[in-house]
């Protein structure tokens, strides 16, 4: 009988938002974050939030056709338009603490289910 050893479990939740920045909300960004719930080395459930991607950039109503976020923002700075601080602040405040806590509770509920060890054993052929 073959036994797979499960060494770690995580719950990854992807959250997508659209933010608009600028005096007239002329810069629109599609922002993707991931909330990761995991068990630390002491057995405590933790959550972390990471920015995954900024894409689908629309400036003054015109789609920037898969422009790289950093490159596009640099090009705007070169012509005297600086949205960096406003965009960074908007992106940083997208994920509410309540959502992070809900993901943590969901992960804790998953951990309460039957252990995956039950399913990790399979017959060798």
List the chain pLDDT tens, one digit each, 125 residues: 667 777 778 999 999 999 999 999 999 999 999 999 999 888 899 999 999 999 889 999 888 887 888 888 999 999 999 999 999 999 998 999 999 999 999 999 988 886 666 666 666 66
Pairing assessment for the beta strands 121-122 and 2-3 based on DSSP bridges: antiparallel
- pTM, rounded to two decimals: 0.79
Q: What is the pLDDT of residue 21?
A: 93
Q: What is the distance between the alpha carbons of residues 84 and 100, in angstroms, rounded to a whole number?
A: 25
Residue carrying the six token digits 């608009």: 20
Q: What is the pLDDT of residue 3?
A: 74
């Amino acid at each position: 009988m073959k036994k797979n050893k499960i060494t770690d479990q995580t719950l990854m939740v992807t959250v997508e938002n659209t933010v608009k920045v600028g005096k007239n909300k002329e810069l629109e960004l599609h922002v993707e974050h991931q909330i990761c719930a995991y068990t630390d080395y002491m057995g405590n459930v933790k959550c972390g939030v990471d920015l995954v991607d900024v894409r689908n950039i629309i400036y003054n109503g015109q789609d920037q056709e898969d422009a790289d976020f950093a490159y596009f923002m640099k090009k705007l700075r070169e012509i005297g338009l600086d949205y960096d601080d406003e965009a960074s602040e908007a992106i940083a405040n997208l994920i509410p603490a309540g959502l992070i806590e809900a993901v943590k509770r969901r992960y804790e509920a998953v951990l309460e289910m039957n252990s995956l060890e039950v399913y990790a054993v399979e017959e060798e052929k």
